[in-house]
Amino acid sequence: MTLPTKLTGIRLIAKEVGVSTATVSRALNEDTAHKVKESTRSSILELADKMHFRLNPGARIMQRGLSPTIGIIVPRKDAVFESEFYGRFLGGVISATAATSWDVRILTTGRDPLKFVEELRAAGRDCSGLICLGTPLSEGTLVELENYRRPLVLLKSVLPLDYSIESGSFHVIGTDNFGGGVSASRHLCELGHRKIGLILGPDASRDFVERERGYFEGLRQFGIEIDPSLSFRESYDDQSGRHGCEYFLNMAERPTALLCANDSLAFGALDYAKSMGVNCPNDISIVGFDDGLLANCCSPKLTTVTQPLAEMAAQAVEVIMNNIEAPSMMSLGELIELPTTLSIRESSHSLTAV
């Protein structure tokens, strides 16, 4: 009469096959399998398979530890991945971790905007480090987040406009929007344009404002005075681009070029111009910002500022990996700003050459 002791898992297999749990464990793990005689191993595997047996992850993790994990915090709104931005950034994270043993996990927040930090803590419990993108963070949230004791990388675009990165304690990664803006406006100036219309984005957005400042700086460098009537601001989508273009085309003295604070605005502008029979680049030059997939496909191909998304992702991953051992807590805020490049394509043309 056997005792009714409920044998489970590995112990059951061990008894059934007639070996010790140690042997079963060794047989079941790839990296120790070679320590077990082949015939023993196959009996174990066979039985395990028949039983649909799976090692208890908890017990396993308790012994081996959790494989290091990068959590990516995205807002749970359904439309997140509509924008190619996320996909491309994520692709960068994946390829940066691909050769390592790091896992990538996607965490969503957004049940309650006020409880962001709480949600983040809960979701990120088993992650070694977190990258936060997409969710705009308020000052209050950032204060709460200050004492989150784990490697945390914030994309610059989630920060409030006037937030001082240096006085915080976050690792922040972003695009050099300002520099990109300068290069875009200088490009048009170099092509001879002097009357340049600006289709800007919402001035609550850090990215947009930085770009805007870059535009102004570039113009200033060419001695062009800032004319408020040459700035159009509405929203950030193609529809606003159309409106902006309409506004400028209706001016008595039309600008010869348009600087658009993102690609969507540029596409909208492009589209409206075309519909009005105004040819780009012959009649008007248009420059975007982002360099999404569309920029290189549409016609005319868009001159735009390229953001190094993959490098940003790689840097974010690196920061986390570097800080995992020695979480440099309470360090001063660090900003990594990656340079943009100007991708000159077909939508911008020399003014004099026309």
Partner DNA sequence: TAAGTAAATGTAAAGATTTACATTAAGCGC
Partner DNA sequence: GCGCTTAATGTAAATCTTTACATTTACTTA
Residues contributing to the site for DNA (CB under 7 A): 6, 8-11, 18-26, 28-29, 32, 35-37, 40, 53, 55-56, 58-60, 62-64
Q: How is residue 141 written in tokens?
A: 């949230």
- Please tell me whether residue 106 binds a second copy under the rule CB under 8 A: yes
- Please tell me whether residue 94 binds a second copy under the rule CB under 8 A: yes
Out of a second copy, DNA, none, which partner does residue 25 contact, by CB within 5 to 8 A per kind? DNA
Strands of 257-260's sheet, edge to edge?
Answer: 231-233, 196-200, 257-260, 285-287
CB 211 within 8 A of CB 265: no
For a second copy, the binding residue among 2, 3, 52, 352 (CB under 8 A) is 52
Tokens 């898992």 correspond to 9
Out of DNA, a second copy, none, which partner does residue 18 contact, by CB within 5 to 8 A per kind? DNA
Considering only residues 256 to 295 of the shown chain, the ones binding a second copy according to CB under 8 A are 267, 270-271, 274, 293-294
How far is CA 180 from its chain centroid? 18
Number of residues that bind a second copy (CB under 8 A): 58
Out of DNA, a second copy, none, which partner does residue 40 contact, by CB within 5 to 8 A per kind? DNA
Q: How far is the CB of 293 from a second copy (least distance, A)?
A: 7
Q: How is residue 200 written in tokens?
A: 């800007």
- Between 53 and 267, CB nearer to DNA: 53
d(CA 354, CA 349): 8
Give the residue ranges of DSSP H helices in the chain. 9-17, 21-28, 38-50, 57-64, 84-97, 116-123, 139-146, 177-190, 206-221, 238-249, 263-275, 309-325
Choose the stretch contacting a second copy; rule: CB under 8 A; options: 17-25, 73-81, 164-172, 281-289.
73-81
- Please tell me whether residue 298 binds a second copy under the rule CB under 8 A: yes
- Please tell me whether residue 114 binds a second copy under the rule CB under 8 A: no
d(CA 279, CA 215): 23
The number of residues in the chain equals: 354
d(CA 146, CA 167): 11
CB 308 within 8 A of CB 338: yes
- Between 212 and 291, CB nearer to a second copy: 291
Q: How far is the CB of 106 from a second copy (least distance, A)?
A: 5
Q: How far is the CB of 5 from DNA (least distance, A)?
A: 10
Q: How is residue 115 written in tokens?
A: 């409880």
- Please tell me whether residue 324 binds a second copy under the rule CB under 8 A: no
- Between 126 and 190, CB nearer to a second copy: 126
Choose the stretch contacting a second copy; rule: CB under 8 A; options: 51-59, 160-168, 219-227, 317-325.
51-59
CB 161 within 8 A of CB 201: no
Q: How far is the CB of 68 from DNA (least distance, A)?
A: 16
d(CA 194, CA 255): 8
- Please tell me whether residue 354 binds a second copy under the rule CB under 8 A: no
CB 235 within 8 A of CB 261: no
Q: How far is the CB of 108 from DNA (least distance, A)?
A: 22
Cβ neighbours, 10 Å, residue 311? 16
- Give the DSSP letter of residue 68: P
**Contact positions vs a second copy (CB under 8 A):** 30, 49, 52, 55-63, 65-66, 74, 76-82, 84, 86-88, 90-92, 94-95, 97-98, 103-108, 110, 118, 122, 125-126, 147, 149, 238, 267, 270-271, 274, 293-294, 297-299, 310, 327
